[in-house]
Amino acid sequence: MPAKLPNDVPLTSTFPDAVPDAASFPLATATEDRGVQDCAAASQVPQFDNCLAQVRLGIASGLYVALRSKHAPTAAHSLRVALFCSSWSYQLKLHDNQRDVLEVAALLHDLGKIGVPDHLLSKPGPLTADEADMVRKYRQYGINILSACCCNSEITESVRLAANRYDGGTTDNPGPFGTDLPLAARMIAIVDAYDSMIHEQVYRRPMSQERAVAELFSHAGSQFDPHLVEEFSRLQLLGQIESYQNVVRRWLHDLNPTESQHYWGAGPVPQLQSIANESESLFHDKMLDNTLHGVIYVDTGHKIIRWNAAAERITGIQGTTVANTLWDIDSFRFWGEDRKRITRDLCPVQRAIESKCQTLQRVVVRRVDRDINLDLHAFPVVDERGMCQGAAVLLRDATSETSLEQTVHDLHIQAARDPLTKAANRAEFDRVLANQVKRFQESATASSLIICDIDHFKSVNDTYGHPAGDSVLIGFSDLLHSICRPEDLVARYGGEEFAVVCPDCDIAAATLRAERIRAEIAAVHFTELGSRRITVSLGVTQVQNGDSPETVVRRADRALYQAKEFGRNRVIQLGSADDEPSPEGTPELGSWLSWISGMPSGNAVLERRLLAQVPIDLAVEKLRGFVADHSADIVSVSENHLVLSVDSRHVPLQRRNSDRATTMILEIQLESVTPDETGSTAGLQTRMHVSIRSKRSRDRRAEITIERAQQLLRSLKAYLMAHEEATS
């Protein structure tokens, strides 16, 4: 049965009456090559295109329709190439089987552009290297499609090898070259290039026919078969009207549509291009399906080509719903760790593709049921030529890690907190106080310590029971936390004693804070005690020169003891950080070599004369505090003369546990000084001659010995609030 045109008018054997007149095609002109123009004109009428494709391809004409739906200019180009090739094959007097293969292959040679992103096919400017590499893959896409439905391997091979260079140069398709290439492939290559040059493209203007033929000749022998280029150019010079009529007659009249069906059917399993063989691909697929981490593949067009089972489980999004869709970090509900949306320009996948650099980012996927913390690792996939093929995305569930971090934090809180009062425990107090003492030694940053003791707490337990006593402890801890700053450390020092470490706080501010604690706790009525109130005694001190954590605690404890001795429910402060700078010429720590020139007489490491602005009896009281806090032993004592022995373990200068302890000997001679002697307007003062030496007369660790002597001197000056007196 003869084929019909779209208007259902039966074709007769008289071709000119059946085919639309050339004048009806808008591009027909009298000055152009009629054969070329008629072929071009036919492609301007979609109904005519469909009719030709249906007759030529039979049941596979849907492939052409799909291509035209994807990109109409490409489909029109393919039809023109097929008509040109058919005309050429008529001139070459090829066998009917050869013409069939040539025509079908030419009509479908660009079929793979169905798989190329639209924005690349329509891009007006030049393609980047990565984009051009992606477009070149269209031939493989076409082979994959044809392999699934075409039973004729000659057609498939002609399409596959049409891009191969005649001289065997660099090509994406390894295979034969020269005359070993199929004739159809060599002819399609020439006509494909020629038609592309003489028609306008989105990225350039068309060439003249003469210029296009010249371009073919310039690449003859390298890209194209030189003999066929010569034949094709001669064909163009002769004109193709009669041959074109024969082509249309053959396609629309002589061909029986049922005869075109034998090319199509269930073809062999398509051999998709892969980086591994079939066995490796199977292992690869199984690994992706069973890995615990989500794996997503995104091509350079941002199209998702893989979304494994773990990605489905982690995100709650089925792979079938996102396959072949565009990657959009916002629509997939990936947000930043700060619970804010990630802008597209900061999308790690986009950045990996554009920069060809790996990106690692903690994100949150906002699922309907819950939020999940993820580590999103995006890395570019680059081939051996350095071309980016897309990005691979690895999603690692970081919920357990986040939970572990929280667990570690919680465990630290538990390990550092008193279980009853939730205040810091003794170990945490020791750690923080040691850090503050070290900080003061390094930068002279003020830090203070408050020690609190609940007055008569034993009677609370004896009268109201331990549960009531526990409630009082908890209430007092809560009050301390409410009064103190967030940076202060409130610790349960032991029993009913609490300590507050106050960073960046001098003794005056700490004393005011202690007084507020005393006043507020005295105003609280405890229901557990029958609305009775309690009082507390507080000792306050400040970290000062020469201090160790132990001396700071002892001094604050002495202040607390005095508060209790003086009647309880009061605040006593001891110590001061006021310290005069060393007079010019006094050696600094670590500079003992420069100090040797001023070495004191005898075996003394350090000799100084101090002046305290207090009478001698008060100076003696302050010396008692120094002795107590440094655990010093009194070697001898006589009128206004004192010799002390201080173990270096009570001086904060041991650098390593392996450092051997050194015992220092302090000799202090006191004398009362009147204002007339010093020229001061103050009352009676006390002058002290201080000599410090090592107990071992031949201690070779001179540098460490000098440092410890200077540290003791600074501590003594702080306790006595004394300054060095210049010698005449």
| pLDDT for residue 526 | 92
| pLDDT for residue 34 | 42
Q: How confident is the model at residue 190 (pLDDT cuts 50, 70, 90)?
A: very high
Q: How confident is the model at residue 84 (pLDDT cuts 50, 70, 90)?
A: confident
| pLDDT for residue 633 | 87
Extract the runs of DSSP E, i.e. beta strands, from 398-548: 447-454, 489-494, 497-503, 536-542
Q: Per-residue pLDDT for 583 more than 60? A: no
- Tell which wins on pLDDT, 594 or 641: 641
Residue 123 CA to residue 13 CA, distance in Å, equals 45
| pLDDT for residue 628 | 84
Q: Per-residue pLDDT for 58 more than 80? A: no
Q: Which CATH class is domain 417-574?
A: alpha beta
Cβ burial, residue 30 (10 Å; 0-12/13-18/19+): exposed
pLDDT digits (tens, 9 = 90+) for 397-429: 877 655 555 566 666 677 788 989 989 999 999
CA proximity to 293, closest of 388, 399, 367: 399
Average pLDDT of every residue of the chain: 78
Q: Per-residue pLDDT for 222 more than 50? A: yes
| pLDDT for residue 7 | 35
CA proximity to 319, closest of 336, 338, 304: 304
Q: Mean of the pLDDT values across residues 215-241?
A: 80
Q: Per-residue pLDDT for 659 more than 90? A: no
CA distances from 241 to 174, 235, 245 (A): 38, 11, 6
pLDDT digits (tens, 9 = 90+) for 597-640: 333 444 677 888 988 877 888 788 888 888 888 888 888 888 88
- H or E element that contains 554: helix 549-565
509 φ/ψ sector (left φ>0, alpha ψ -120 to 50, else beta): alpha
- Tell which wins on pLDDT, 655 or 662: 662
Token readout for 553 is 């605690």
> Is the CB of residue 240 less than 8 Å from the CB of residue 34?
yes
CATH value of 278-403 in 3.30.450.20, 3.90.45.10, 3.40.50.300, 3.10.20.30: 3.30.450.20
Q: How confident is the model at residue 566 (pLDDT cuts 50, 70, 90)?
A: confident
Cβ burial, residue 336 (10 Å; 0-12/13-18/19+): middle
Query: Which pTM value belongs to this model?
Result: 0.41
| pLDDT for residue 271 | 47
Q: Which residues pair with 673 in a beta bridge?
A: 685
Is beta strand 294-299 parallel, antiparallel or unpaired with respect to 304-307? antiparallel
- H or E element that contains 361: strand 359-366
Q: How confident is the model at residue 653 (pLDDT cuts 50, 70, 90)?
A: very low
| pLDDT for residue 6 | 36
| pLDDT for residue 570 | 93
| pLDDT for residue 584 | 37
| pLDDT for residue 587 | 38
Q: Mean of the pLDDT values across residues 279-287?
A: 74
CA distances from 94 to 103, 227, 693 (A): 12, 16, 117
CA proximity to 202, closest of 300, 72, 43: 72
Half-sphere exposure of 703 (CA within 13 A, CB side): 8
Listed in sequence order, the residues at least 6 apart from 508 whose beta carbon sits closer than 8 Å to its beta carbon are none
Q: Per-residue pLDDT for 187 more than 90? A: yes
Q: Mean of the pLDDT values across residues 649-676?
A: 69
pLDDT digits (tens, 9 = 90+) for 10-57: 333 222 333 333 333 333 333 334 444 444 444 444 556 677 777 777
pLDDT digits (tens, 9 = 90+) for 338-353: 777 887 778 888 888 8
> Is the CB of residue 553 less than 8 Å from the CB of residue 433?
yes
Full strand arrangement of the beta sheet holding 388-397: 304-307, 294-299, 388-397, 371-382, 359-366, 334-336
Burial 115-147 (b: 16+ CB within 10 A, else e): bbbeebeeeeeeeeebbebbbbbbbbbbbbbbb
Q: Mean of the pLDDT values across residues 639-665?
A: 68
CATH of domain 593-724: 3.30.530.50
Structural domain spans, the chain: 15-263, 278-403, 417-574, 593-724
| pLDDT for residue 436 | 93
| pLDDT for residue 523 | 93
CA distances from 200 to 28, 73, 106 (A): 16, 10, 20
Is the domain defined by 15-263 classed in CATH 3.20.20.100?
no
Most confident option among 203-217, 231-245, 296-310: 296-310
| pLDDT for residue 697 | 60
| pLDDT for residue 398 | 78
Q: Per-residue pLDDT for 593 more than 70? A: no
| pLDDT for residue 557 | 92
pLDDT digits (tens, 9 = 90+) for 432-488: 999 999 999 888 888 999 999 999 999 999 999 999 999 999 999 999 999 999 889
CA proximity to 717, closest of 611, 590, 588: 611
